[in-house]
């Protein structure tokens, strides 16, 4: 059997993943920046819960994650009877399942970490993030590269993310994790500028990048924001809440797909009445 030929976008994606893999494997070891090692600004407890604001602000990830999974389950049901040529491919929806499940894992891992920050709990936090990263990268690839490339891209990102977490935990080398986190965001930014493929899910990738970038700025200004707000809220707490908003463009796209499927179902029912 002759393997299918790759499109120019698929070849570009393959080259990028190869370069990231080679850089992670053979690049120089990078220690964790001192800024990342600094204590979080808000260590206040509430009702016996340590670091309460940084722990509880992870509820946003959990709420949107559960919301997204419920919507996907409903979407699966209504699409069984919808014969829409424009509905997104299964790979895109599979990646959406991975993304929202990753948000729930991120909520649990991050809350676990912020209860008592240490290296082992940080690994658990990042493992959940790796699942969410994989899902959104897969969806972006489905929309802007090809449907068949999305699912492999998601699994490649997931494997790379979990390996990067392990490498950092064992050796302290943060380079592989930086490549997963920031390389993935650069990829999504580049794909946001590309024309969507036919049958794309319609995720507005620019808004995903916007909210994620804003969350990173809040993270860097953790102490400054805490002092500027007279210790009302820290930058890291705002980071969690803002990063959760990056899931709304995905949820909005799924809701649009659901409305389209309902209209098709109604049209099909009317035609056969």
Average pLDDT over residues 156-161: 97
The pLDDT > 90 percentage for the chain reads 78
Nearest to 253 by CA among 130, 98, 106, 93: 93
Q: List domains and CATH numbers for the chain.
A: 45-75+88-258 (1.20.1070)
Question: Tens of pLDDT along 199-253?
Answer: 788 899 999 999 999 999 999 999 999 999 999 999 999 999 999 999 999 999 9
Q: Per-residue pLDDT for 269 more than 50? A: no
Cα separation, 63 vs 71, in Å, equals 12
- Range with the poorest average pLDDT among 4-8, 177-181, 265-269: 265-269
Nearest to 66 by CA among 26, 109, 114, 100: 100
Which ranges of 52-89 does DSSP label H, i.e. alpha helix? 52-56, 59-79
Specify the pLDDT at position 168: 95
Question: Tens of pLDDT along 96-153?
Answer: 999 999 999 999 999 999 999 999 999 999 999 999 999 999 999 999 999 999 999 9
Nearest to 197 by CA among 149, 152, 242: 149
**Inter-residue contact 150 to 91 (CB < 8 Å):** yes
Q: Per-residue pLDDT for 1 more than 60? A: no
């Amino acid at each position: 059997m002759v393997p299918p030929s790759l499109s120019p976008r698929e070849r570009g994606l393959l080259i990028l993943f190869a370069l990231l893999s080679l850089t992670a494997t053979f690049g120089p070891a990078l220690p964790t920046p001192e800024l990342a090692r600094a204590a979080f600004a808000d260590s206040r407890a509430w009702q016996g819960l340590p670091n309460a604001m940084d722990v509880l602000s992870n509820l946003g990830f959990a709420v949107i994650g559960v919301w997204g999974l419920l919507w996907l389950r409903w979407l699966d049901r209504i699409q069984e009877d919808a014969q829409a040529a424009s509905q997104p491919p299964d790979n895109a929806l599979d990646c959406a399942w991975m993304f929202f499940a990753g948000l729930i894992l991120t909520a649990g891992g991050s809350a676990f970490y912020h209860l008592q920050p240490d290296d082992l709990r940080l690994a658990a936090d990042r493992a959940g993030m790796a699942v969410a990263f994989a899902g959104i990268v897969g969806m972006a690839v489905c929309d802007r590269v090809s449907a068949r490339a999305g699912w492999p891209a998601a699994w490649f990102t997931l494997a790379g993310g979990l390996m990067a977490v392990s490498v950092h935990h064992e050796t302290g080398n943060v380079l592989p994790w930086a490549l997963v986190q920031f390389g993935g965001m650069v990829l999504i930014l580049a794909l946001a500028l590309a024309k969507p493929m036919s049958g794309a899910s319609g995720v507005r990738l620019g808004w995903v990048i916007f909210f994620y970038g804003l969350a990173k700025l809040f993270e860097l200004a953790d102490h400054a924001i805490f002092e500027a707000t007279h210790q009302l809220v820290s930058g890291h707490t705002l980071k969690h809440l803002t990063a959760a908003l990056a899931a709304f463009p995905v949820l909005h796209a799924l809701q649009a797909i659901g409305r389209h499927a309902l209209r098709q179902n109604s049209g099909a029912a009317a035609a056969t009445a």
